[in-house]
Structures are given as structure tokens and as C-alpha cells.
Structure 1
Amino acid sequence: MNSHFGGITLVGYYGYDNLGDDLLLLSSLSLIEEAGYRGKVYIPAKSGISRPLESVSFKMQVEVIPRFSFGGIMSALKRSSLVIFGGGNLFQDETSSRSFNYYHYIAKRSLKNGSKLLLLSQGFGQIKKRSNFERLKSILGHPQTYSLLRDRVSARYNSFFSSNAYSGTDYGPYVLFRQQLIPPCERKKSGIAVVVLKNGTPASRVISILEEKGIKSIAAIGFHNNHDNVKKEELEAFARKRGLEVLSPQRDWRSLVSLFSDAEIVISERLHGVILALTLGVPFVWRSSKKNDRFVESIDSSLKLSYDRTGNGLEEKVALAMESNICPLRDRYVEELEVTASNCKELISRLLARE
């Protein structure tokens, strides 16, 4: 496949030093390259995108455009026959309407330009404004929009408006397989716990429960520095008071993946903390939310290891998780990930070949 088929614009929440989105970026680029594409990829992003991009080499030419340079974005879209939304929960207005407006504008402009729009590893919601539901429906129902969603609920919703919607799983960790960073699945007794909190869950209770379970070292990870840092500092303060070792890994994604891999248990409020633990074969519990619950239920609807925002049920769920064999669940996810990756590459290749 040659570059004369047209460029690709890759859109996501990139450059914010967020581990989950860094992995989605690298996995999206890996899938585009493995689909046979060798042209230019334009990526609107913050300057922090340089760190993950420098960590993995690609055969394609990648051009980063300032995230809010609308002139630069419009120019890239005009040069792109395919626009890919690469992972995340981009169409939502829970954090702000500005975020929804940003992604909706790019999607709408892409379709108006005559480009094909491909939504990969996406989930939908939470959307509060009725007008935004209508705007999203117009994007999903457009004949040039194609979707491969990360959970069955999102795929079912999309299918109401389009026959070009397919179900898959979140492909964030795909780059780990390409980089041969997946260890054998085996139970660990490392005494290390990785905790990913953003709000709600009482830090003191988390530390107390982990100490009772024999954990000696705590790594509090913030997937998004600004949003998670307060909770991270709170966890570390309680851990030090209890005499536990506080681990402070480097912020690069490889160091964080290595730390997750060494853990005996992961407690996560963030979806990609759950997905990373599952990929690496580490027992985990998660705070119940629509996003987290939908993903886990799409892998195994019988798994009941979630707790509520007050921490109710956390002690019992941690005990169950640490006693369970996660390897069969990991294997099931890996199988779904391989199918999703194959379908992504087939879709990318097919849509580019139509030009």
C-alpha cells in the first residue's frame, strides 16, 4: 500500500502524559502500520506526545499538529482520505461540553470533506445533553462512518444507527505484544500492590486492607498527573504512616508496565489500570462505573470483583482476587484482543483501498 492512497489523521486524547492514552496511541499506530500503510499520519496532540512517540519506531512518517491549531487540523483533514479516532471515550460531555464539541467538530468536518471516519476501540458516554445525543447519532449514522467498539453495549448502541458498527475489545495493550513485553501468566508473591485512584475511594482504607493482606510495598500511580496527583499523594502519605515502602517508578510507559507486571494485586478506578492488570496476568479489583463494568462484563459477565465509591466490599473483593487464578481470564482477553486487532487491520486496509 502506498502513500498516494491519501493520508491518515489519527485523533485521540494524546500528549497528556496519560498511560492509558499513550498505549492507545502506540497501539493505533502499530495497527495502522501492520495494515500495510506507509504514508503520512497526522496527529493533533499536546507536546507531551513526543515521549511515547520516541519510544517506539514506525516506518510511517508521523506529523504532530498542535492540538488546538484548528488551521493545522483542517489542513491535515483535507490531506486525509481516512480519519481514525484511536481509542478512548472521546464522545462524552461528563468532563465538559468543550471536549465533546472538539471531537464532534473533527468528525463532522472529516465527513464533510468526503473522508471516511473510523472509530476504533471507542466507548460512548457519559452524555448528559440531549442535543449532544442527536449530534452523535448524526455522526454514527453517516454512511462513511465505520466503528469497531471496545464493548458490547457501545456496539449495540451504534448498531441502532448504522450497519457499519462492529463489536471488539479495548486494544490499548496491543503494543505490548508487538514489543514482546508480555510475561508468562503466573501467580506472584511479590508483596507489591499497584493502586490507581482518582477520587472517592478512601485512601486510608485501601492501605489498611492491603497491609492486612501482607502487602509490603505500594505504588500509587496517577494515569493523568493533574487529575490523580492529589489521591496519589494521599495514598503515599498513609502508606508511609503504616511503615510500608512507597515505590516511585519513572513516568515512562515501559517503567510503569514493568511495575504493573511485578504486582501481586492491582486496585484501579481507571479503566486502563484494569486492562493493563488483566493483560499482564495480575489479579485486580475495580471501582464500579459504567465504563469499567462494561469492559469487564464484555470479557466475563460472571466476574464480581468491583466495589463502590465508598469502598464497600473492597476488603472481600481484594481477598477473592488475590486467591483467584486470573490466567484463564487473561487468555480469554488475549484471544479477543487478537481478533479485534485483526479486524482493525482489515478495516483500515479495506477503507484505504477504496480510494
Structure 2
Amino acid sequence: MGKRAVLCGYYGQGNGGDEALLATLLQMLPSTVNPLVLSGDPPATQAAYGVEAVDRKSGLALLQALKSADAFIFGGGSLMQDSTSSASLLYYGGLMGLAQQLNLQTIAWAQGIGPLGRSWNRWITRRVFRQCHGVSVRDGGSAQLLSQWQVPYVEAPDPVWALEAEPMPGLANLPAPRIAVNLRPHPSLTPQRLECLVQACVDLQRATGACFLLLPFQPHADRGPLSALAERLPGQFHWLETTNPRQLKGIFQGVDMTIAMRLHGLIMAAAEGCRCVALSYDPKVSRLREELGLPGYELADLPASSTTISRLWLEVYANGEALSGDRRHSLRDRALMHQDVLKILT
């Protein structure tokens, strides 16, 4: 009989990036491991992945899950950070600490650590990572922190590079060429900057005649800024939403260019051979933009002229290049290194 592992992340919250991380973790788990997912929507998680799930906010359910398990896995993403508040860090750190107190095998998988602005949060994070049986991280900044803390780790690209994509039903019937846009609310996306981006998209559509695909990765949040764009586009556009992360990644197989804020929007698009433009609101997006050499802007430094922005986008559309096949295959193969830390569960 296989081991029972509790999978902990920002799951069941309607966020396409985090669902993609869960799908990839389930893809990489040894076949002998029986997963139990902590979810914000257990019925939806059970239906989507065919796994057992419990309410991540129920103290009793959490305790029963941990007591019934052999292992506990931090399932990818920036779980240990305090850029907005300490609440999520204390939640995740508390669960990992409790799992370690219960002598479960603990794994921090595909983590992006930080920002950690408060010394107490830094202490908590260092403590739980030092006691893990296996750790993998997805960026050099996190690796540097673990080196300072003398924590052994595997460093590899974000695991979503290795997520197996599926075709999006109906996509082939939409007009071509196609440009995908993903925006999300954030303090750095001020009304003035949003207006500038909307006008740049209007100019880009007039110049290219492309059909715009509006892709909310977290619909209840992302629909806001994308609706502002939909109201102004002069040509054809379509909303595309799916709760299937493999289909979400598959969308980019049929897209000519992607303009995205969200990290996993850029990763999925680049992985499927799509030209990308990054709008960076967070250090993790800035790191990816630098590593891949993506054109784009830091939102804090966005030009005031929509014409300047649309000219860059039009240049990428007309003459830009996607990542080479060799580069994409290399990133996918290296992303599979996150599977190595899961081997202790066999």
C-alpha cells in the first residue's frame, strides 16, 4: 500500500497558475503515492483531478488529514512571502511546522521564497525549510537564500514548463491571427497605466487586424481590467476561460502573440512556442523576463505614451521570435528535476 501525502498550496481558489502547479505536481508524483489535496473548493478539486480533497480552512479537517498522512508537500509557488501581509505565510508555515511535529516526511516543492520583509517571517521560513526532507526551488533568489541558510536544495525552472498541454476545444474555429492578453489587478496597474495599455491594445488591433483573446487566469479578479479592454477594442475579441490547466496551456498553441502580467501566462505561452511580451508587476515576473530575454516593461516604468508601447508590441508581432525549440525542450527537461525531490516518497 502506498504512502498518503497531503498536498498544500493555493488550490481550489480559481487561479489558473496555481491549478497548473497542482496538475503538474500530480503528474510528477510517484504512482504509489495517494494524494490528499487541501482545497478552497474540495468538490471542484475532486471532480477536476479525481483525487481526495478537504477544506483548507477547516481546522478539524486539516488535523485529521495530517494525522492520517505519511507526508506533507508544499505544492509550488510563492507560499512563503509577506509582500502583502503575513497571514498566508503564517498559515503555510504553521501547517508545515505541524506536519514536522507529527514526524511526517515534509517536502517543499518548486518554491519561490520571498519577498520576506519581516525578520520574524524570515526566521519562520528558515526554520521550516531547514527541517524539510527535500526542497526544490524555481529561481536563483530562492536558491541563494537556501544556500545562506545551509539548506540542501534542487534548483530548476518552474514545473509548469513540463505540464502536458491539451488542445482547447473550439479554439481552431476562432478568427486568426490571434493575440492573447492577460491582465490582473495590482496597485502598480493604476487607472492611468491601464488606460495607456488599453489604448496600446486598440492601436495594435487596428494595425494587425488580429482577434484578441482575453484570458483571465483568476476570473473573479482578472475580469475587471480585461473588461476595460473589451469595452474599447474596435475589432473581434473572445473571452476564453477554462478550469482545466492543461487546456489553458494548450490555448497558446493557437496564439500568435501573448501580452501577459501573470507569471504562468508567460511560462505557458513561451513553453508552447508563442511570442511573448511581459508586463512585470512582481520580482518573479521580472526574473523570468530577464532569464528569457522577453521584451516588455516593468509596470512602474511603463511609458506614458501608448504609441511607444504599441510600437514595441507591433515590432514583436511582426519580427519577434519565440523561444527556440531547443531552449523550450531544455527548460522542460530541467523542470522535470523537481520530480527528484519526490522520490523520497517511494
- Give TM class, smaller chain: 0.7 to 0.9
State the 1:316 CA deviation.
4.5
Question: For 1:113 and 1:259, how far apart are their aligned partners in 2?
Answer: 42
Letter in 2 for 1:22: E
Question: For 1:345 and 1:10, how far apart are their aligned partners in 2?
Answer: 15
With normalisation by structure 2, the TM-score equals 0.85
Q: Contact conserved, 2:214 with 2:240, CA < 8 A, in 1?
A: no
With normalisation by structure 1, the TM-score equals 0.83
Question: For 2:298 and 2:119, how far apart are their aligned partners in 1?
Answer: 28
Letter in 1 for 2:322: I
CA, structure 1 residues 163+255, in 2 after alignment: closer, same or farther (shift >3 Å)?
closer
Deviations 1:280-325 (A, max 9, x none): 1110111123111223434x3xx15121326326335423432122
1:186 alignment partner in structure 2: none
Does residue 1:21 correspond to 2:12, yes or no?
A: no
Question: For 2:129 and 2:155, how far apart are their aligned partners in 1?
Answer: 14
Letter in 2 for 1:17: G
1:293 alignment partner in structure 2: 286
- Mapping of residues 62-81 of structure 1, within 5 Å: 62-81=51-70
Q: Out of 99, 107, 113, which is 1:118 matched to?
A: 107
CA, structure 1 residues 146+296, in 2 after alignment: closer, same or farther (shift >3 Å)?
farther
2:339 alignment partner in structure 1: 345
Question: For 2:240 and 2:45, how far apart are their aligned partners in 1?
Answer: 16
CA, structure 1 residues 249+52, in 2 after alignment: closer, same or farther (shift >3 Å)?
farther
1:99 alignment partner in structure 2: 88
Q: Out of 291, 295, 300, which is 1:305 matched to?
A: 295
Question: For 2:14 and 2:263, how far apart are their aligned partners in 1?
Answer: 16
Structure 1 spans left out of the alignment, 5+ residues: 183-188
Letter in 2 for 1:8: A
- Mapping of residues 319-330 of structure 1, within 5 Å: 319-322=314-317, 323-328=319-324
Q: Contact conserved, 2:250 with 2:272, CA < 8 A, in 1?
A: no
CA, structure 1 residues 138+264, in 2 after alignment: closer, same or farther (shift >3 Å)?
same
Deviations 1:51-94 (A, max 9, x none): 4653456xxxx321101012211222223222111111111122
Question: For 2:127 and 2:209, how far apart are their aligned partners in 1?
Answer: 50
Structure 2 spans left out of the alignment, 5+ residues: 169-174
2:184 alignment partner in structure 1: 198
CA, structure 1 residues 260+18, in 2 after alignment: closer, same or farther (shift >3 Å)?
same
Question: For 1:52 and 1:278, how far apart are their aligned partners in 2?
Answer: 27
State the 1:257 CA deviation.
3.4
Question: For 1:263 and 1:157, how far apart are their aligned partners in 2?
Answer: 37
Q: Determine helix, strand or coil for the equivalent of 1:176.
A: coil
Letter in 2 for 1:262: G
Letter in 2 for 1:98: A
- Mapping of residues 237-316 of structure 1, within 5 Å: 237-239=231-233, 242=234, 244-253=235-244, 255-288=247-280, 289-298=282-291, 300=292, 303-309=293-299, 311-312=302-303, 314-316=309-311
1:164 alignment partner in structure 2: 152
1:136 alignment partner in structure 2: 125
State the 1:248 CA deviation.
2.1
CA, structure 1 residues 151+269, in 2 after alignment: closer, same or farther (shift >3 Å)?
same
CA, structure 1 residues 110+206, in 2 after alignment: closer, same or farther (shift >3 Å)?
farther
Q: Contact conserved, 2:258 with 2:276, CA < 8 A, in 1?
A: yes
Q: Contact conserved, 1:121 with 1:171, CA < 8 A, in 2?
A: yes
CA, structure 1 residues 255+247, in 2 after alignment: closer, same or farther (shift >3 Å)?
farther
Deviations 1:185-241 (A, max 9, x none): xxxx932111111131424233234225404322222211232221021111111xx
Question: For 2:215 and 2:287, how far apart are their aligned partners in 1?
Answer: 23
Letter in 2 for 1:88: G
Letter in 2 for 1:158: L
Q: Contact conserved, 2:205 with 2:211, CA < 8 A, in 1?
A: no
Q: Contact conserved, 1:150 with 1:295, CA < 8 A, in 2?
A: no
Q: Contact conserved, 2:77 with 2:110, CA < 8 A, in 1?
A: yes
Q: Contact conserved, 1:26 with 1:52, CA < 8 A, in 2?
A: no
Q: Out of 313, 322, 325, which is 1:318 matched to?
A: 313
Q: Contact conserved, 1:22 with 1:52, CA < 8 A, in 2?
A: no
State the 1:336 CA deviation.
2.6
Deviations 1:37-60 (A, max 9, x none): 2x421111011x544653456xxx
Letter in 2 for 1:321: V
CA, structure 1 residues 215+273, in 2 after alignment: closer, same or farther (shift >3 Å)?
farther
Q: CA RMSD of the aligned region, Å?
A: 2.4
State the 1:138 CA deviation.
1.2
